[in-house]
Amino acid sequence: MLLGRSVWRIHSCTKHALVTARGDPNPIRCWRRAYTSRVKLEQFAKMSFVDYPPKPSGIPGIVLQRSGPQHLSQVQNLLRESFFKDEPLVTALGLAGKTDPDFIDEEAKLVLEQLSLLAIDERSDQIVAAAINRTVLPQEMTDWPKEIDQMKCPQTQKLARLWYTLSTKPNIFTTFKVATYFELTFLVTTKAARGKGLAQLLAQQSLLLARESQVPLAVIYCTNVASARIAEKLSMKLIGVHSIRDYIIRNEDFRNGAKTSTSLNDQISVYAITLGENMAGRQHLLSELVTQTRPDLESEK
């Protein structure tokens, strides 16, 4: 990674206090794999970090900035308050507000890879929206099931198992024959900042960053209609569709407490776009996969 004038070390951001769940002075805490795998944490420990300057967003009062260690605390709070409390999939599964706070804080450490993009309010200097991105490595996917098995928080473990299932259908590595890929993992906006086009802007800029980083493929898992529309506007192709309603009904883990009404935002859509070298070959694979796309979350259980 290129070095900037201002350099951050890992220890400057990891000494943060544990968060206590509201209303529960002694929440269950569990070992969590999260998206920041041991592989990545070892990588972060050896890194020097660039202090990227903010740049204009084109939206009055908002600047965009590439993430760094200095943003970790704010991103942790953003995920707690604006994703894990009302995100459609988490809500549908009956897990809103029940996810282990330590797990959420670990998820936020994705910003240490410095591939995430933040929308910051100039007056308050607060993050109001973010595209939390990462690169995915084969070893992470291999290690993930074993680490999920070690979780002691049932609700968090259920969510992690579902995310793992979604991340392997289709198997991006074998389908596109890539050694890594870029994932837009969390696209989140505070309630006060919604309706300004920030999510689409951040997703668009994330794809530009992925191309700049020379990653061969970018993927996003859309758990609501709004994010799926954004993916389509950015010319990403639909490569997988999963019925969350069917998953809830058939899976004992979620049968109690989940919402199974017809009003449920039922579809999880997987989108991808080819980048960089060998685009023609991967685009052919992408086109073939698009024609085969069908709901199949349960067919391979």
Confidence of residue 300 (pLDDT cuts 50, 70, 90): very low
Range from 15-29, 111-125, 182-196, 270-284 carrying the lowest mean pLDDT: 15-29
Comparing 17-21, 189-193, 228-232, 242-246, the range with the smallest average pLDDT is 17-21
Q: pLDDT by residue (tens digit) across 258-274? A: 554 444 456 789 999 99
Please say if the pLDDT value at position 240 is more than 60.
yes
| Domain-wise residue ranges, the chain | 51-291
Q: Nearest 5°: phi and psi at 188?
A: -135, 140
For residue 28, the model assigns a pLDDT of 42
What is the 8-class DSSP label of residue 19? P
Dist CA 94 CA 143 (whole Å): 27
Mean pLDDT of the chain: 78
Which of 130, 78, 127 lies closest to 104 in space, CA to CA? 78
CA torsion 28→30→36→37, rounded to 10°?
-170
Q: CA–CA separation, 61 vs 53, rounded Å?
A: 16
**Residue recorded with tokens 């070298």:** 277
The CATH fold of domain 51-291: Aminopeptidase (3.40.630)
Peptide bond into 53 cis (omega under 30): no
Closest CA to 295 of 133, 140, 166: 166
- Which tens digits make up the pLDDT trace of 136-190? 999 888 888 888 888 878 878 888 888 888 888 889 999 999 999 999 999 999 9
Tell me the per-residue pLDDT of 75-122, one tens digit each, with 9 for 90 and over. Answer: 999 999 999 888 877 887 777 888 888 888 888 999 999 999 999 999
**How far, in Å, CA of 7 to CA of 48, rounded?**
6
Q: Count the Cβ atoms, other than its own, within 10 Å of residue 109.
A: 23
Q: In percent, how much of the chain has pLDDT > 90?
A: 45
Q: Enumerate the H helices of 132-217 as residue ranges.
A: 138-149, 154-167, 172-176, 198-212
132 pLDDT higher than 50: yes
Instruction: Please state the rounded mean pLDDT for residues 17-44.
Output: 50
How confident is the model at residue 163, as a pLDDT? 84
**31-58: pLDDT as tens digits:** 444 445 677 777 777 888 899 999 999 9
What is residue 298's predicted lDDT score, i.e. its pLDDT? 38
Can you give the pLDDT at residue 113? 93
Distance of CA 234 to the CA centre of its chain: 17
The pLDDT score that the predictor gives to residue 254 is: 57
Q: What is the pLDDT of residue 146?
A: 84
139 versus 247: the higher-pLDDT residue is: 139
What are φ and ψ of residue 64, in 5° steps? -105, 140
pLDDT for position 135: 94
Q: What are phi and psi of 60, to 5 degrees?
A: -55, 130
SS3 for 97-129, per residue? CCCCHHHHHHHHHHHHHCCCEEEEECCCCCEEE
Assign 23 a pLDDT band (cuts: 50, 70, 90): very low
pTM of the model: 0.77
Determine the Cα–Cα distance for residues 278 and 9; give it in Å rounded to an integer: 35
Portion of the chain with pLDDT greater than 70, in percent: 72
